């Protein structure tokens, strides 16, 4: 009932911003990094990933540009904006608060 993707839901944007805050990257690489960090336990579905990029760009959190690879598949790179950094910072705070709340709600005795 509680699937891992439901838990992650709502963090997609934050996870992407977290990766981009370390430097420019592109979809495929970001997803590989996520898999590496979670020991292959988690990956963003492609549809989810690219939907998130559109959303983040529309919200002014990231900017995209095409890489100039002269071989292999083309890559669309993303840069995090100042706005994006601010949002990410806020998300981190929210996460830490939410984490405590959920811990309490799942474990603490009532009242």
Partner DNA sequence: TTATATACATTGACAGGTGAGGTATAGTTA
Partner DNA sequence: TAACTATACCTCACCTGTCAATGTATATAA
Ramachandran area for residue 10 (φ above 0: left; ψ -120 to 50: alpha; else beta): left
Nearer to a copy of itself, 15 or 71 (CB): 15
- If contact means CB under 5 to 8 A according to the sort of partner, which of DNA, a copy of itself, none does residue 71 touch? DNA
By CB under 7 A, is residue 8 in contact with DNA? yes
Q: Show contacts with a copy of itself in window 37-96 (CB under 8 A).
A: 37-38, 41-42, 59, 61, 87, 90-92, 94-95
Which one of 17, 18, 19, 27 is in contact with DNA (CB under 7 A)? Answer: 27
Does 12 help bind DNA (rule: CB under 7 A)?
yes
Residue whose pair of structure tokens reads 């336990």 in the numeric block:
41
What order do you get walking across the sheet with 25-26 strand by strand? 25-26, 76-80, 62-66
- Out of 47, 58, 73, 111, the only residue in the binding site for a copy of itself (CB under 8 A) is 111
Measured over the CA atoms of residue 41, residue 46, residue 52 and residue 53, the dihedral's sign is: positive
Which option in DNA, a copy of itself, none does residue 82 bind, with CB closer than 5 to 8 A by kind? none
d(CA 27, CA 24): 10
Q: Residue 25 pairs with which residues in a beta bridge?
A: 78
């Amino acid at each position: 009932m509680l699937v891992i993707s439901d838990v992650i839901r709502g963090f997609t944007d934050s996870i992407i911003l977290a990766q981009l805050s370390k430097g420019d990257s592109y979809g495929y690489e970001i997803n590989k990094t996520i898999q590496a960090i979670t020991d292959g336990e988690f990956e963003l579905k492609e549809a989810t990933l690219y939907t998130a990029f559109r959303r983040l760009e529309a919200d002014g959190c990231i900017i995209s540009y095409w890489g100039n690879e002269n071989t292999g598949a083309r890559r669309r790179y993303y840069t995090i904006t100042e706005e994006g950094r601010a949002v990410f910072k806020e998300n981190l705070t929210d996460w830490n608060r939410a984490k405590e709340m959920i811990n309490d709600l799942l474990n603490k005795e009532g009242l």
